[in-house]
Chains A and B, each alone.
Chain A
Amino acid sequence: MSTATTKQSFGLPLLAKELTEQANRPRTYYVRMAYMVVLYGSFIWLYAGSVTAKRSVAEVLGSGALLFSPIMQIMTLAICLLVPIYTCGSITTEKDRNTLEPLLLTKLSPFEILLEKMLACLIPMTNYLLMAMPLLAVCYSLGGVEAEAIFTCVGYMLLLSIELAAWCLMWSTICRSTVVALIMAIVVKLFMLIALYLMFLQSLRISSGPFEQLFIFGLSVVGPVLLSVIWLSIGAYFLPRRSNVTGPGMLSLVFRWLDRFFHQVNDNPVTKGIILVKDSSKLPVDHPIAWRETVKKLWGSKTHLTRMVLLIETPIVFFFTMMFAANETATTARSLGTITGCVIWVLGAVLLLVQASGLISAERSQQTLDLLLVSPLSAKEILLQKMAGVWRLAAAMLIPFATIGIIQYSLGIEFYETLGRAVFFGCLTLVLLPFWVWFSVWIGLMTRNSLQAMLLVFGLLTVWQVGLGFVAQSLFPGASGLWGSSSVGNDSNIYWYSQSPLKFNDIGQWIRLLLLVASPLMIVWRSLTTLDANPYYCLTDSSWVMLLGVVPYLLLIPVLKRAALRRTAVVLGRLEDTEK
């Protein structure tokens, strides 16, 4: 009896529950298996490329360093991907199940709850680190890597896991849904890292003195731990306060606050409260779902989209104006334009894919899907009307690209190059993006909740659109690294395809070509880098490669759309008139 009491008082009940749940979930083993396949597969591949090719034992010695670095990169990537997935849903799931409030009524303090939740994430992550130990041992035995380096790297990864888990848990306590928590955790973290890099790390020079080394080491160990405590404390503060969040979401509240702020600012003798863009206050007429998506939704209404575009446009115009004032060259404008365009495109694409993948699952989670399904609207109508908001968001995305193009042209970039860039971004936005959107919708129809849909969409698109390019690159003789050289050289895929005619008897060439077409992001990246190196490139040599990469997707859009629309009725589960 006393032993039981002792165990109970010192036990970690929440951790025990979490681990039991994890053990009972088949997903745990699938993820572990997938990680294992990727890690060991990559190692074998790298080993075959770097070690097996060596002729003598003497050449093999020291090649551990070649293997160690990519393995560490894969492990870091796995941590950055898996920790947010594991932790962002920790508290939001409890909120969804209405189990958080009973948990807060127990003797567990908010901090303890978060700590146990964090441990529940760190234990599988430690597992993943341990899984890599045999590989690290091989690296060590091959030479070129010191034991200290291995332990330091593993230690840093553990610290990275702790800090990232605490950070994601904090967002999980603040946000209402897992999807929002995940997006906020990743986006804010990225912004923080970029700001940190630009402000401090870029100018930081590590000196070789013992004191400085010790300081850096201390900072890199104490820093993550200290940050973890801060994130957990913030989380603990918000946990009871955000345990039962109803009403509008955080983003809606921010927009409402902005509404009030702008109204106050606008109410002055100069502007006299003028309203440039006003959302329709009319009630739905023929397409009720499309009406709600484009009038009532945050990412569909004219007012909010205008604000979002203005938010993106303002810094673009500001930076380019500064450049104009500083008499910057066209080359700088070109580079900045490419980078800005890419960043906006990626952020916009992420937003669109999140929206598209959650179209139906959002109705499911709101418990409104059945209400739509019992109406006379066909499944096809429901889906097409739901897409109205997504297309409006996509259209809004085109505006910043147009701005960048106009400014670049005005900064001295030639007309044909500007046109080439416009065609390029147009192809991406009008062809590749709609394809991805329909793909996301299709995946969203298959999944039960928004998080699952989002993870599947991003996972599959990464493997498909980037992974295949990776394989194509590796198959290409003379390729240097993942993306190859940015210059138009003999090792460039695009150069190769554009300069040398396709040999129909070379199966390997066909395979490489197919893989490249299946991985348009590779073409995008190569084209962008070559665009900067040779402004006329996009309109001359590589244009057919670009088309080759985009045309199949253009042809596939109606096929995928049709498949998604036909699939809708089946996936939604209701009877349709066509059935016998």
Chain B
Amino acid sequence: MTATTSVSPESEATSTGLSSTSETPATGLATSEVKPVVLVDNLWVRYGKFQAVKGINIAIPAGEVYGFIGPNGAGKSSTIKVLATLLRGFQGQVEVCGIDVRRHPGRIREIIGYVPDFFGVYEDLTAREYLHFFAAAYRIPAAKRRDLVDSVLELTDLTHKIDFQVDSLSRGMKQRLSLARVLLHEPQLLLLDEPASGLDPRARIEFRELLKALKEMGKTILLSSHILHELAQLCTQIGIIEAGKIVAQGPLEAIYQQIGMMRLVHVQLANPNPAIAAAIRLLPTVQSVEELTDRLAIKLTGESFPLEDLHTALVQQGAKIKMFQAEVMDMETAFMKLTEGITA
């Protein structure tokens, strides 16, 4: 688990008026090199007789984007709600920026931005009023609010909708407005619960780009989603949760490696020969070579061995290659392999 060093692009930060996390510790809590922004240690959440979360551990360093994946009822939202100080009945240690969630929920609220899995509509407010409403709720000085609202609207590309009724906005716009809302008080941690759910492809792409911009600004983000390939593009770390337990977590590469997905190469030869397969098996990074009816399935162990070297080695053994295909990194396959379809 390595902390990603992110440098906020000056242009973005300057143009929007928003500062990156590393530049402005909102509550005087500087991002620590040692302590992760999110620390969840042995978290248990229970609703009556139902145990929603069963002793999970998560550590998210500053600037990382952590993707939380799991089927419905797996415990994603419960974990996020604990971090958002919205759940009382939990066991375990939960800290955000080194602050204990249970002991200082008020301080936590000032450093987090929470977007729930639904969009709460105040149908009687315009986008401007909506943002000023929450700016006042977050006790942002009145003199700063106007510029701040303008800047978050610009970042989320909603400036032209500033005087539109919130209820009249499309779902994608509402979701961007939600993000604008949570950016008002410049939180260090963004908690996004299913932010892309129900969005059309264009809105989803726009939202993803927005998250990328925030990532580049150095925000630490924890987001849950069902849209797996999008998480793969955005997240630096993935946590797969099923029936309240984390089944795999870490950088995406590590997860792929863990289930042996990335290094599987399918080779189809015009001159299939057991000798070639035997020779390939002797290569130091090759874990196994499976001789299938129409192809060889070569599993590699090391990360450092480039695929082109394997190709060269095959040619050197006299192989006439008809097809050379590395198995595509696929979050969905990884998810299916790691989970067993257990639901609440």
Contact = CB atoms under 8 A, between A and B. Distances in A.
Given A296-B124, A376-B110, A576-B105, A288 B116 contact: no
Interface stretch (A95-103, A183-191, A279-287): A279-287
A574 B86 contact: yes
A247 B105 CA distance: 35
A231 to B, nearest CB: 29
A248 interface: yes
Given A246-B167, A289-B137, A291-B136, A577 B112 contact: no
B124 A247 contact: no
B84 A366 contact: no
Contacts of B122: 292, 296, 366, 368
Nearest to A246: B167
A166 to B, nearest CB: 31
B128 interface: yes
Contact of A370 (B110, B120, B124): B120
A284 B126 CA distance: 13
A1 B103 CA distance: 65
Contact of B136 (A287, A374, A573): A287
B106 interface: yes
B136 A370 contact: no
B86 A375 contact: no
Interface in A350-375: 366-375
B173 interface: no
Nearest to B109: A376
A377 interface: yes
B136 A286 contact: yes
The prevalent SS among residues of B at the interface is loop
A573 B88 contact: yes
B120 A574 contact: no
B137 A573 contact: no
Given A291-B133, A370-B116, A573 B86 contact: yes
Interface in B84-123: 84-88, 101-106, 109-110, 112, 114, 116, 118-123
A579 interface: yes
B116 A376 contact: no
Contacts of B112: 374
B142 A285 contact: yes
B132 A284 contact: yes
A576 to B, nearest CB: 7
A512 B123 CA distance: 50
Interface in A58-91: none
A292 B118 CA distance: 21
A574 B88 contact: yes
Contacts of A575: 85-88, 101-102, 105
Contacts of B116: 367, 370-371
A278 to B, nearest CB: 17
B114 A370 contact: yes
B164 interface: no
B109 A284 contact: no
The prevalent SS among residues of A at the interface is loop
A167 to B, nearest CB: 28
Given A370-B116, A574-B105, A375 B134 contact: yes
A7 interface: no
Contacts of A368: 120-122
A374 B124 contact: no
A296 B121 CA distance: 14
A376 B114 contact: no
A371 B134 contact: yes
Contacts of B145: 283
B41 interface: no
A297 interface: yes
Interface in A295-310: 296-297
Contacts, number: 105
Interface string B149-175: 000000000000000000100000000
A283 B116 CA distance: 25
A27 interface: no
A573 to B, nearest CB: 6
A55 interface: no
Contacts of A246: 167
Interface in B153-206: 167, 181
A107 interface: no
B192 to A, nearest CB: 13
B320 interface: no
Contacts of B337: none
B84 to A, nearest CB: 5
A575 B120 CA distance: 21
B232 interface: no
Given A368-B120, A375-B134, A577 B105 contact: yes
Q: Which of B103, B104, B129, B134 has the most CB of A within 10 A?
A: B129
Contacts of B101: 575
B125 interface: yes
A246 B167 CA distance: 9
A371 B106 contact: no
B196 to A, nearest CB: 18
Contacts of B311: none
Interface string A430-441: 000000000000
A115 to B, nearest CB: 33
B46 interface: no
B110 to A, nearest CB: 6
Contact of A375 (B109, B123, B125, B142): B109
A25 interface: no
Contacts of B110: 376
A509 B136 CA distance: 56
Interface string A215-256: 000000000000000000000000000000011100000000
Contacts of B142: 285
Contacts of A284: 129, 132-133, 136
B119 A367 contact: yes
A369 to B, nearest CB: 8
A250 to B, nearest CB: 13
A375 B137 CA distance: 6
Contacts of B136: 283-288, 291
Given A247-B123, A366-B120, A372-B137, A283 B129 contact: yes
Given A374-B112, A577-B104, A292 B88 contact: no
A407 to B, nearest CB: 36
A371 B182 CA distance: 10
A580 interface: yes
B229 interface: no
B131 to A, nearest CB: 9
A376 to B, nearest CB: 5
A378 B106 CA distance: 8
Interface of B: 84-88, 101-106, 109-110, 112, 114, 116, 118-125, 128-129, 132-134, 136-139, 142, 145, 167, 181
Given A248-B124, A370-B84, A374-B112, 14 more contacts: A284-B136, A285-B136, A285-B142, A292-B124, A368-B122, A371-B181, A376-B138, A376-B139, A573-B88, A574-B105, A575-B85, A577-B105, A579-B102, A580-B102
Interface of A: 246-248, 283-289, 291-292, 296-297, 366-378, 573-577, 579-580
Q: Which 7 A-B pairs have the closest CB atoms?
A: A368-B120, A575-B105, A288-B136, A375-B137, A367-B120, A283-B132, A284-B136
21 contacts: A248-B123, A283-B128, A284-B129, A285-B142, A292-B124, A292-B125, A366-B120, A366-B123, A368-B121, A370-B120, A371-B116, A373-B85, A374-B84, A374-B85, A374-B112, A574-B105, A575-B85, A575-B88, A575-B105, A577-B104, A579-B102
